[in-house]
Each structure stands twice: as structure tokens, then as C-alpha cells.
Structure 1
Amino acid sequence: MEFYLCPIASGSSGNCTYLHADEQRLLIDVGVSGKRVTEGLTEIDIDPTTLKGILITHEHSDHIKGVGIISRKYDLPIYATKPTWERMESAQMLGKVKEHNQRIISKDEPIYFGELMVTPYSIYHDSVDPVGYVFEYMGKKMVLATDMGKVDRKIVERFYNADGILLEFNHDVNMVEVGSYPFPLKQRILGDYGHLNNELAAKVLAHIYHPDLKWAILGHLSNENNLPDLAYLSAKNALLEKQIEIGKDLQVTVANRYNLTPIHRV
């Protein structure tokens, strides 16, 4: 059995993640060029023609700007909630998509790709109907959780008993506050419908840790308001407060912004 995640790109400038569950192969978002996706898949010896579809978290351009291109090139179905589809179509964000490739999903209702179960769940972000995803296969569980201004009990419960998680560590609060962004943009980033900051994400990670959690990928870092070392240090400190040691108890990796992050298996 092979079940793994591999971020092709992760950050405020573009996001795309490859999910592999043996013959079930999916992309989560395509916020980068089609060329970059093809190159990334080639790096890990995946033939793009074996993909089964594209899952959309929300309609912001750093998550969908390459979706239409990849769907047309490889004739791939696109899975998104009805409000997200309506927004993408009304704003002509994807270009022409074949009708048979327009698939509507609903929050909290699992979809199946063979033995792979994918469950979209509701998150807090300033888009029309954003979701995260839980992936379950052959008794193992991985979670993708980015683009959320806050978490609540229901969201955190989605993370329990995961074997691996890709969790947003978007910004350092101090860097946002003293940075050059206009005040309304700062308010958006720091608000309940913006992005998770390092400190909060680290607390969430420490809270959900259990001995079978193998790894955490720190993702969706801001280029302007974060540093990989700051994100990593936040995670390290929060984990140490609970006597959880990186390298010994948990593998922690900061996702690469533009390039492939190594494969993370469960």
C-alpha cells in the first residue's frame, strides 16, 4: 500500500498538493501553472494521465488559476461545492470546462475513489464556501487544513487520530502588524476569516498530537509575513511544552513555496 501527500507548491503565491492512494491519484487545488504541475509530478515519477480528478478548497486565484488548464489537458473532473462552482463560473475563473467534468460535492458528505474516502469539511475563510479535506484509506488518515482564520472544536475534531497533517502556518502576527500592508489587508489576514498564524497553528498541532501522528507539514506560509524558521520554531516550542520532541516523536517539515516538498507517507 502507498498512501501519501506531496505538496507541489505551498504558499500565498500558489498552492497545489498531490494525493496518492495506490491507483487513486488526485490533485488538491491547482494555484500554479500547468507546466509546474506536470514538472512536479514527473519529479516523483507520476504520469499525469493517471490522475483521477482535482479537489477544490475555495475559489481564490492562488488555489485555482491552473485548474482549468489541467482539467482540459488531462480531461479531469473538478470537484467543488455548489457555491464555489457558481462563483468560479460567474467570474469565468476556469475557462471552458466540459460538463461531465463539473462535479458538485457537499460538506460533510464523503466521496469515494475506490477505497479512498474523501470528506470535505467546513472552514473559516473569506471565500464563498471554503473547505478542508480528510483523506482515509486502508485504516490510515491524512488531513489538509489551510486557509482558515480560526479553528473551532468541530474543525479540530477532524484532525484527531490523523496519521499525517498538512496544516497552515501562514504568518507571524508581529510581522503583519509592523509590515507595509495597508490596514484593511492586515485586518483581513489577522481576522477570523483570514489565515492561521504560527502561534495558533502550533497550539493546534500540539493539541492534536498522538503517538500515531507521524508527520506534520507546515504549509501556506506567507512570503511577506513569515519565515520558515519562525514557523518551525513556533511548532517546536509548542510541542516541547507538551514534551513532544521533533525528530523523535514527530516529523515536522516546512513546505517549499515554489518547489516540491518531499513525499510524506503514512
Structure 2
Amino acid sequence: MKVSVLSSGSTGNSTLIETPQHKILMDAGLSGKKTKELLAQVGVDIKDIDMVFISHDHTDHSGGLGVLMRRYPKISAYANSGTWNYLIESNKIGKLPVEQINTFESGITKTFGDLDVTSFATSHDAAQPQYYVFTSGGKRFACLTDTGYVSSTVKGEIRDADGYLMEFNYDDMMLRNGPYSWALKHRIMSDVGHLSNDQAADTLLDVVSPKTKHIFLAHRSQHNNTQYLAHETAEDLLVAGDANLPADVKIIDTNPMQAGSLTKI
């Protein structure tokens, strides 16, 4: 299994996951043109994408889905019923081809050839948010962003993965002292908001294991965080701290609108 974080942040989110049988997008928050461009940067033709898994309805995760479905009929798209209902009723991403819509409710595992996908509910102010663990070739890649709270159930789902895509959204002091309104600050810090650097690192402390080799720091706020602060927090708590991680673990920064290298998990 190989992974490239194509884009991660409030401007748009999409991650490529590749197995011998599939080329998958986890979220589709970019324009079709930008998605095609970023995929090309890692040597993938957008026409080869065969599945898209959507975490929730917010535009930075789903805004490009309609274009992809209409332009590339090969794509099978997966989300839960709450997300589909919202996207269809709101018409925010245009008319969706019904034959490409597939319902994937929370708390189940589905098999697609050489790929198993497990869905789990998360805590965010969207219609019905959920994330996924992708398993192929004996490797597990767990994705978790856009959640204000990580329950013991979610920790159980993502525990002992070989790779993580984990939200490091904000630095607490930058957010508190920043220009946002108090209402927006409260929303971000709430149980249906986002994870701070410290919350994300603390969550990882509870779930990583010696098999964990790659941790992608995702969904970093451009206003309330910096790459340095997110990376420093992860390094301090996970590498220099008490985490049960191998010496060669890689802490990988992600960027908005810039594809990361295709990494073998």
C-alpha cells in the first residue's frame, strides 16, 4: 500500500491510497483540475482512480466529488447515508450520477479485492462524519481528521496501525490569541470542532505501536498553527517522549495544494 497526501488543510483535502488493484481518493475537496494536477505530480493518471471515500459533507472534503463522478464514470463513490442525503438535498456539488453512489455506514468493514475498509463515526459539526482505516497486504493506514474528540471506541479502531493521517489543526495559544471571533474559537475547540497539536499527539500516544512507521500531520490551520509548532509537538511527545515507536518512525508534514511523495506504508 502506498500513500500520497495530495492536499491537506482548510482549502481542500484529498489523499491518494494505492494498492496493486486500486487507486483510491480519501476525500475530494479540490477542483477536478487541481486533483488531476496533483495526481500527475506523483505519476498517477486521474482516469485510473476507481474509488473515492468521503468523510463528511464539508466543502473542503467533498467539494470536488460531483465533478469527479460526472467526468469519470469509472469512479465508485462511498459515504454514509447522512452525508449522501445532505450532499444530494443541498445540491452543493451538483447532480450526482446515482449509479456511482454507494452507501457505506459507520461501524462496518467492506472488502474490495485486495483492500479492506473499516468505517467509524467521529465527532464533528457535519451531517454524519466518519473516517476510515484502509488495510491491504497486511498493512493498516488509519485516517482521522476533523474531529473535536477522540473516544475510546475510535482509539480502538485506529490502534496499532502501520501509518496514520492525523489532524494537527491548531496550536492552543495561537488560536486563543488570534483574530477569530470567540464564537468561532469556541467551535474549533469544542467536542465537534478540531484537534489541537497536543490533543492529536496525546491520541497517538495511546494508539501507536512498534509497527507504526509513518505519521502524516494533517489539516493544519494556516491561521492558528505553523508547520514548526505541529512538527515540534509531534516530535517532543512521540519521538523524544514515551511513545512505543520504532527508532526509524517518520513524522511527515503535509501541505495545502502540494502533493507529498508517494510513500510505501
Q: By the TM > 0.5 criterion, same fold? A: yes
Q: Aligned partners of 2:17 and 2:245: how far apart in 1?
A: 27
Asked if structure 2 preserves the Cα contact closer than 8 Å seen for 1:244 and 1:250, the reply is no
Q: Aligned partners of 1:71 and 1:244: how far apart in 2?
A: 41
Q: Aligned partners of 1:245 and 1:102: how far apart in 2?
A: 39
Q: Aligned partners of 1:43 and 1:136: how far apart in 2?
A: 25
Deviation at 1:70, TM superposition (A): 1.1
* Residues 37-81 of structure 1, C-alpha deviations (whole Å, 9 max, x = no match): 101111122122221121110000111111111111111222111
Aligned residues between the structures:
263
Aligned pairs for 1:141-220 (under 5 A) are 141-220=140-219
SS in 1 for 2:15: strand
Q: Aligned partners of 2:32 and 2:245: how far apart in 1?
A: 38
Asked if structure 2 preserves the Cα contact closer than 8 Å seen for 1:205 and 1:235, the reply is no
| Residue 15 of structure 2: aligned partner | 17
SS in 2 for 1:35: helix
| Residue 97 of structure 2: aligned partner | 98
| Residue 4 of structure 2: aligned partner | 6
Asked if structure 1 preserves the Cα contact closer than 8 Å seen for 2:134 and 2:141, the reply is yes
**1:53 aligned partner, one-letter code:** M
Q: Aligned partners of 2:54 and 2:168: how far apart in 1?
A: 20
TM-score, scaled relative to structure 2: 0.96
Q: Aligned partners of 1:264 and 1:152: how far apart in 2?
A: 29
Q: Judging changes above 3 Å, is the alpha-carbon distance between structure 1 residues 150 and 243 closer, same or farther for their aligned structure 2 residues?
A: closer
Deviation at 1:245, TM superposition (A): 7.6
Structure 2 gaps of 5+ residues are none
**2:212 aligned partner, one-letter code:** L
**1:84 aligned partner, one-letter code:** T
Structure 1 gaps of 5+ residues are none
Q: Aligned partners of 2:3 and 2:249: how far apart in 1?
A: 16
Q: Aligned partners of 1:81 and 1:104: how far apart in 2?
A: 5
SS in 1 for 2:216: strand
Asked whether 1:242 is paired with 2:237, we answer: no
CA RMSD of aligned residues (A): 1.4
Range moving further from structure 2, 86-95 or 235-244: 235-244
Q: Percent identity?
A: 32
Deviation at 1:93, TM superposition (A): 1.7
**1:262 aligned partner, one-letter code:** S
TM-score, scaled relative to structure 1: 0.95
Q: Aligned partners of 1:42 and 1:249: how far apart in 2?
A: 29
